[in-house]
Each structure stands twice: as structure tokens, then as C-alpha cells.
Structure 1
Amino acid sequence: MSNQKLTFKHYLIIGSMLFGMFFGAGNLIFPIHLGQLAGSHWLTAGWGFLLTGTLLPLLGIIAISITRSTGIYDLARPIGKHYATAFMILTCATLGPLFATPRTATTPFQIGIASHVSTSQAPLYLFIYSLIFFSITYWASRKPTGIVDMIGKLLNPAFLILLAVIFGMAFTHPLGIAKMTATTTAYQQHAFLNGFLQGYNTMDALAALLFGIAVVTVIRGLGQHNPTAIAKTAAKSSLLSISLEALIYLGLIWLGATSLTHFKLTVDGGIAFSQIAKAFFGVPGEIMLAIMATLTCLTTAVGLASSFSEALHAKFPKISYRTWNRLSCGASFLIANIGLDQIIAWSTPMLMFLYPLAITLIVLSILSPLFHRNTGVYRWTTGFTLIPALFDALGSAPAIVTRQGWAQHLLAWDAKTLPMAKLGMDWVVPALIGLAIGLGGYLIQRTLAARSYKTNQD
């Protein structure tokens, strides 16, 4: 197949598109909140956050490139078609109308508007704001080929300029000294692991599996058709966007830590960011932050709606892309109106369930050339990861669930039986055991096949 040679400008355009898709609601509020929680241990927690917030999404794009998969279903297919379908639907729903997409509207509303209206008026203002927000999202995502122009050339530069202004003021006139701020109890001993788990909230590793579809489509549109060339282009472009995202994350985490000198620990990063902007620039600072949050969250909403619609249209072609897009934007609008706190509360258990499965799938996909995508390796590893992931989901569920007697008994058994259960990492050891069993079975199978071949030759 002939391939168009791409220039550095092309890589920048694709990288900018990916950055705009990845950097959204959670990418603004969770690093700030992490900085406040970690205090003087902000850098240690930050490294953990970067693993799940930047490195894992990069590995997700690379996994799709290495396996030459067309999307989430294709990537998970070696485990089984039913599992692949279920995993794809759960991931798409989480990134789409259940949690991530509604959050793109509620976060900028919480940052820029909620603090200026009364509690009784907030639902009406949220309704109006989210209606306008998702109307624009639907209009921009009607044709996925317009994603590059919309996100890469217009909204990203505006967002980066606004963010640079805030960072410039924070670095030249810091609110305090990060290494001298208080650290919450959880982060005094396990700052790295807690930062790692906080990175789940960005949902970027899941998004990488979904956005891979859009990346391949855009690269083909630029004239590259050879699978190897597409894989290399995707990896290079992803590295550009992820590197920029990592620098911004560290800046936001540091900013959250320094804010503790003037402000108390807040319930979420949105409130903290609004306080910081007002401290530096007054009311104009809050307005600037509201604009920045709306722009970055809008780019993510467009990317999520487009990728959600493309993925499900590809799997269920009888339902058109436009119908899936209408469903995504309409349902996101409705769920957004339950409020940010409720969305975060109910999204956490889903993320604690999906992330271990996504991490093992990404690692297996990258290592798959070593065992020729053997289904046994995939199935053993995933099977041993599945049950602990369910326990993690149960342990992070809202109190209405965890207070139930049956839930407390299961969680008590989990804490006594599986290592690192109290840290939300009880899936690690079982996953390694499953991987070892799968690889052992694969090597035995290969050895027996080689002996059989040699016997037949003799």
C-alpha cells in the first residue's frame, strides 16, 4: 500500500487532537485535589498519578497500534467475543452518557457558575448551561472528520493560553511552599499508590482504547494506509500529547499543594481551582477559569461523543452513527443534571472495576507478540483479575451499598485474603498468578507441538 509521508506539522495536528480529547473535566479538578490531599508529598503522589494519567493512556494507544486492532472489541477479542462485547459496552457507557460525558458539563458549571448562584437556583442554571453545552457538542460531533479542525486548530490554543496565564502568575507569585504544607493521613504512608488510584478518575486509559478508532481514521485520512506506518504515526503523535499533559498535571498538583497555605482542603478540585483563580485575579480570574474549563471540557465532550458513536455503530451497524450520537448527547444532558458530586460518587466503583481489566488488557496486548496472542494467556490473566476487580468496585461504592451486611462480609473476607486489598490494589497478585499460569500453559503447548513436529519429521 502506498503511504503519504507525514510532516512534523501532521504529527502536531494529530497530537493536538488527542490532547484535546484527553484533557477534559477530570484532568482539571482531580490533579488540583490530589495536590491538596498530598500536601508536602505532592511530587510522590504526582508520579503515581502520571502512571495512570499519562503513561497508561500512551500504552493504550501503542497497544492498539501493535495489535492493529480497530477498537476496543478487537483488542479484547482474544478473551472471547462475549467478554469483548461486554467490556466494550461498559467502557463506552462509562466514557459516554453514564459518567465521563455528563461530567464535561457539570465540572465547568461547578467551577464557573455554581458559586455565583443560590442553591435553589443552581438546578435551573445547570439545566440551561448543560442544554447549551450538549447542543454545541452534538453539532460539532455530527461529522467525525471535523474533529481535527475543531479541536486541534481552534480550541486547544485558546485553552493553553488561558492555562499559561494562570501558571505564570502561580509560579511568579506562589501562594505558598508546597514542601511545607500539611499532608492528609492517607498520603503520609501511601502517597504513590493513592496518586496512582486518583489517576483512575481521569478515565484516560479507557479513553485511549476508545480514541484509538478516531486516531486511525484521521491518520488514514492523511494518506497513510499501511498498518505498520499507522502504528508508528499513532505512537509518535500520542507521545507529543501525553508529554504536554504530564507537565500540566504536575503543575496542577503543585498548585493544589501550595494553595493549602491560604485555603482549607476542599471537597473537590473545582472549588479549589476557583479559589486559586480568584486569589490571583479576583472576579476576572474566575471568569477566565470558567472560560478555560468550558473550552477544554467541550473539546473532550466532542471527542467522547464521536468515539462513542463510531464504536457502537461499528459493532451494531444497523443503528446509524447519527442515532448513537443523539443518544449519547441526549442521555449525557439528562444525567448531567443530577450534579457533579453524584456523578463522581457512582463513577468511582465502575472505574475501580474497569481499570484493572483495562490495565491487564493493555499489558497483554503489548506483550502479545511474545506469545502470539494466545487466548489462554489472555483468559487466565483476565479471569484472575475479574473477581478482585469486583471487590474493588464494591469497596468504593456509595455508603448505601457498602453498609449492607452482605457487602461488609465480602469486603472483610477480601481484606483478610488478598494482599493490598485495603489499598484498592488487590487485583495485582491474582493478575500475576493468572499471567504465570497462562504463559506456563502456552510454553507447554509450544513444547509439545515442537516435539510432535520433530517426531513426525523423524
Structure 2
Amino acid sequence: MEEIRPDENTKPLTWKQYLVIASLLFGLFFGAGNLIFPVHLGQLAGAKWLAATAGFLVTAVLLPLLAVLAISVSHAKGIYDIGRPLGRKFALAFMVLIHLTLGPLFATPRTASISFSVGLQPVLPAKLAQPCLLVFSAIFFILAFIISYQETTILDSVGRVLNPIFLLLLFVVFLLAAAKPMGAAHQQTVTAAYHNMAFFNGFLQGYNTMDALAGLAFGYTIVSAVKQLGKTSAKSNAKVTASAGVIATGAIGLIYIALIWLGATTLKHFKPSAEGGTAFNQIVTYYLGDFGHALLATLVTLTCLTTAVGLLAAFAQDFHRSFSKISYHTWLAIMTFASFVTANFGLDTIIAWSTPMLMFLYPIAIVLIVLSIAKTAFAGDPVVYFWAIGLTMIPALLDMLASFPPVISQSPWAHFIKELQVRLLPLAAIGLDWVIPAAVGIAAGLLVHFYRKRPKQ
């Protein structure tokens, strides 16, 4: 943890400086992958898209901002420090799991599979999809490895050009959709799960962005940028981060709302896709034709390549710091090859197998974020962490089991555990059975903490 110190710069920051921090936050949280999940959510929610949007914004917009604030107010340098009150072993295990999720297991392979599903797959015969994915992902990760190996900043410059063009394309599609909608969103079909539980299902869909985990993993980059502007005390650092975060996450939230609405309007013309990549391509092609598709494919591929380079480098750097006997370049090679292998399982498979890990990690991350922000109220006492995380982890493990693909979740023993879980734990049917145990754990930990601190008679 860092030593508390006063601000080096006591003057208020300018709007330009706030916008610099906001743009960093925007780049951290919004990538090409964030386009597909809101569109898919809109197709699932149909007429219930507003309620689903409200739930989605909690986990995809508010929670990532709170994750960065948790890093700021707790003087943490990353995931390890956030989990450190529970001991070094827990902190290291939690850090490794999040980096594997953001790294070779799910998020990094997803950069290649999304590029392929949005760009090339729609124009290929079905029988050529798998061999073409193999070639595409090989080229994609070779380029990512070379750029990461040389630690060049060329993609930072490219990103400054790409992102505005990408957002301009998105804005044009939104304008065309508003002027000539494919259908009325409030009149579209609602899938069964969203009839009565649209908010909660939207909340869970927000897990797929992985942005809260990214906020914990890379939030120190934002905190450091604010410190470079002279705001070095925890209070002012958090204040600047929060103000810039409202700008950045507000913009992201508006994009998410538009994308979810857009997804709901497509149901009049297109069937719901298994993932949002196909649907987003259909939308752009509908409004901008083949030129729009070609432009989208190029932008998404280059944007995803930029994201992949950042994730590869961050993974290799962090693991080299934690396991220094293995060099940065070796970790980079391991990460790149593993991501290439995973990418070739395809986007649908990656999403299906990432869901169980997210159902396990997100509850723990949410509780750690809350405790990190509020830690001054209980002096960061590890006993509060112990009770809160201990009671959160049990239902989180059960939710992970229940959300595995059918090969596991439909087995007899998994069915038995699921029935027991639904019978004993409130909210288990919607994957939020960790909420009450977490609240009980926090309360119990606080009681123990304040009991220990009571004046001696």
C-alpha cells in the first residue's frame, strides 16, 4: 500500500485535464467487444428492453467506475492489494483467476473471435468457417505478439485515429436507426426469462463485459494518471477519478442504451443471434450496405487488435512481477499461444464457458469493491473481509456450477445441487443468491469488529 500524502497540485484541474482522464477511462472500458453484448441483450429483452437496460447499466457502467474508485481510495496498486486483507494466498489466487479470465481463457481470445464473427464469418460458407478462423486467429495473434514484444507505442497512435472513426460510424448508424427504425422496440417479442426478471437478467448480462474486473486489473493506470496531474491524496484523487468517470461512463452508458434499443428493433427483420456479433453486423449492413460491413470489419479488427496488445502486455507484465523467474517475453509467448488456441473454439463456446467463471468472480469482486471503498469505516479489519467473502463464496461457487454448459450443469449430481440451492437460498433461481449471504457476512464482520473495539470495563 502507498503512503498517504497531500496533493502536489492544490489548484483545480481544467476541463481539458478532466477530459484526458475521461478518455483514458473510456478507452479502458469500451472496446469492440462491448458492442455485441448490449445488442444481444436487446434481442433477448425485446419489449422489456428498458428494464433490462437498467440492470445492465449497474454492472456494465456503475460497477466498473466503483472498481477504479476502490483502487484509488484504498491506495491499492491492483487486484493483489484489493484481496490482500484476506491473506497473500487469497490475493494471489484472486489475481491469477482474474488475469486468466481477462487473459488467455476468455477476454483476449474473444478479441480475435469477435473480429472474425463480425468481419469474415458472415461472407464465408459455413464449411470454411473453422479453417478460416484458424488462419485468421494465427495472423491476428502473430501481429499482436510482435507489437507487444517490441513494446512499441504505434497502436496508441493508431487508436487515437481509430476510436473517433469507430464512434463516428456508430453515431451514423444510430442516426439512421432513429430516423428509420427497423421496428418499434416496445412491441417486440420478449424471451421467457425476461418477462418478469428483465432487470435481474440485464444485471447478469453486464458480467459479460468483464469491465468491473478490468477496472480492478487496470484501474491503477487511471489512478497514476490522476497522480501525474498532482492529485496525490486519496480524497482528491478519488474526487477527480469520480468526476472524470461520470463523463466517461455517462458516454458509455448512452452508447449501451442506444445499442440495446437497436437490438430490440431488429427482431422484426432478424432472428435473435446466439451472440451479438452477427446481429451487429446485420444492423450495419442493413443501414450502410456492403461498404458499411467492410468498414465495420476493418475497424473492429484493428480495434480488437489494439485491445489484444494491451491485454497481452498487461498479463505478461503482471505475471512477470509476481513470478519473476519467468521473463516478460516468455509470459508473453505463453499468453499469446494460449489465447490463439482458445480463440479457435469460436465465440459461442468462449461465451458459454466464460459465464461460469464470471458467475463466481463477479460476486467476490463486487463485495471486495464495496469493502475497499468503505474500509475506513472499519479500519480495513480483515475479520470483516473474512466474514463477507466467506459467505459470498459459497453461493458464488454454486452459481458457477449451475451456469456451466449442459455437459456439466445437466448431470444428475448438478441437478441435485441446483434443486437444493434453489430450495435453501433466496434469489438462487436468478443467479443472485449471493446477495443476502454477502450482506449477512458484512454485518457479522462489522459486529465482530466493533465488539473487539468496545471499551474495556
Q: Residue 3 in 1 paired to residue 8 in 2?
A: yes
Counterpart selection for 1:189 from 190, 196, 216: 196
**Alignment-derived partner of residue 380 in structure 1:** 387
Decide which of 428, 443, 451 is 1:421's aligned counterpart.
428
Structure 1 residue 20: Cα displacement: 2.3
Aligned to 1:250: 257
1:363-398 CA distance string (max 9 Å, x none): 111111111111011110000000100110000001
Q: 1:45 to 1:2 in 2, by over 3 A?
A: closer
Contact in 2 for aligned 1:110/1:340 (Cα 8 Å): yes
For residues 275 and 152 of structure 1, do their structure 2 counterparts lie closer, same or farther at Cα, with a shift above 3 Å needed?
closer
Q: C-alpha displacement at 1:318, in angstroms?
A: 3.3
- Per-residue Cα deviation, 1:325-348 (whole angstroms, up to 9, x for no partner): 333223212211121111111111
Which moved further from structure 2: 128-137 or 265-274?
128-137
The 8 Å contact of residues 72 and 88 in structure 1, kept in 2 or not, is answered as yes
1:394–1:77 CA distance, 2 compared to 1 (3 A): same
SS of 1:338 mapped into structure 2: coil
Amino acid at match of 1:3: E
In structure 2, how many angstroms separate the alpha carbons of the residues matched to 1:262 and 1:301?
Answer: 33
Aligned pair 1:297/2:304, yes or no?
yes
Residue type matched to 1:194 in 2?
Answer: N
1:176 deviates by: 1.1
| Closer, same or farther: CA 9–151 of 1 in aligned 2, 3 Å | farther
1:83 Cα deviation after fit: 0.9
Tell me the equivalent position of 2:3.
none
Amino acid at match of 2:395: P
1:346-425 matches, cutoff 5 A: 346-425=353-432
Q: In the superposition, relative to structure 1, how do residues 270 and 117 fare at CA in structure 2: closer, same or farther (>3 Å)?
A: same
The partner residue of 2:161 within 154, 163, 177 is 154
Q: Secondary structure at the match of 1:267?
A: coil
Q: Which residue is equivalent to 2:318?
A: 311
Query: Is the 2:18–2:240 contact (alpha carbons within 8 Å) kept by the matching residues of 1?
Result: yes
3-state SS in 1 of match to 2:54: helix
Moved more, 139-148 or 431-440: 139-148
* TM-score (norm: length of structure 1): 0.92
Residue 447 (structure 2) aligned to one of 440, 448, 451:
440
Q: 2:170 aligns with which of 149, 163, 166?
A: 163
CA distance in 2: counterparts of 1:228 and 1:146, whole angstroms = 32
Name the residue aligned to 2:130.
123
Does 2:187 align with 1:180? Answer: yes
Q: Is the 8 A contact 1:123 1:337 kept in 2?
A: yes
Q: 1:56 to 1:358 in 2, by over 3 A?
A: same
Does the aligned pair in 1 maintain the 2:159–2:303 contact within 8 Å? no
1:337 matched to 2:348: no
Of the structure 1 ranges 322-331 and 200-209, higher mean CA displacement relative to structure 2 is found in 322-331
Measure how far apart 1:241 and its partner are: 2.0
For 1:81 and 1:427, the matched residues in 2 are separated by 24
Contact 1:23 1:297 survives alignment (8 Å): no
Q: Say yes or no: does 1:279 pair with 2:286.
A: yes
How far does residue 12 in structure 1 lie from its aligned partner after superposition?
2.5
Contact 2:115–2:304 (CA under 8 A) maintained in structure 1: yes
SS at match of 1:53: helix
Which ranges in structure 2 are unaligned for 5 or more consecutive residues? 1-5
C-alpha separation between the residues in 1 aligned to 2:138 and 2:19?
32
Q: Deviations over 1:212-257 (max 9, x none)?
A: 1332444455666555554444333333321111111001000001
Partners of 1:272 and 1:288 lie apart in 2 by 16
Determine if contact 2:316/2:329 at 8 Å carries over to the other structure: yes
- Tell me how far apart the structure 1 counterparts of residues 17 and 155 of structure 2 sit (CA, whole Å): 11
Shift of 1:14: 3.3
Aligned to 1:65: 72
What is the rounded CA distance, in whole Å, between the counterparts of 2:417 and 2:117 in structure 1?
36
Q: Residue 184 of structure 1: CA displacement?
A: 1.1
Q: 1:295 to 1:8 in 2, by over 3 A?
A: farther
Secondary structure of 1:182's counterpart equals coil
Q: Given the superposition, is the C-alpha separation of residues 408 and 193 from structure 1 closer, same or farther in structure 2, using an over 3 Å criterion?
A: same
Q: In the superposition, relative to structure 1, how do residues 322 and 2 fare at CA in structure 2: closer, same or farther (>3 Å)?
A: farther
3-state SS of paired residue (1:282): helix
**Distance (whole Å) between structure 1 residues aligned to residue 212 and residue 161 of structure 2:** 25
Q: 2: distance between equivalents of 1:77 and 1:148?
A: 34
Greater CA drift, 143-152 or 245-254: 143-152
Bigger Cα displacement from structure 2, 266-275 vs 426-435 = 266-275
Q: Distance in 1 between matches of 2:335 and 2:223?
A: 22
Q: Which amino acid aligns with 2:76?
A: S
- Could you tell which deviates more after superposition, 125-134 or 172-181? 125-134
CA deviations over 1:63-85 (Å, ceiling 9, x no partner): 01010101100011011211111
CA spacing shift, 1:18–1:141, aligned 2, 3 Å: farther
Give the length in aligned residue pairs. Answer: 450
Does residue 136 (structure 1) correspond to residue 143 (structure 2)? The answer is: yes
CA distance in 2, matches of 1:14, 1:306: 21
Instruction: Give the counterpart of 1:49 among 46, 49, 56.
Output: 56
Kindly tell me: are residues 219 and 303 of structure 1, through their superposed partners in 2, closer, same or farther at Cα, counting changes over 3 Å?
A: farther
> CA 1:8 to 1:149, structure 2 compared with 1: closer, same or farther past 3 Å?
farther
Structure 1: how far apart are the matches of 2:248 and 2:314?
Answer: 18
Aligned residues of 1:23 and 1:300 also touching (Cα < 8 A): no
1:295, 1:117 → 2: CA distance?
20
Distance in 2 between residues matched to 1:371 and 1:259, nearest whole Å: 50
State the alpha-carbon separation in 2 of the partners of residues 244 and 295 from structure 1. Answer: 22
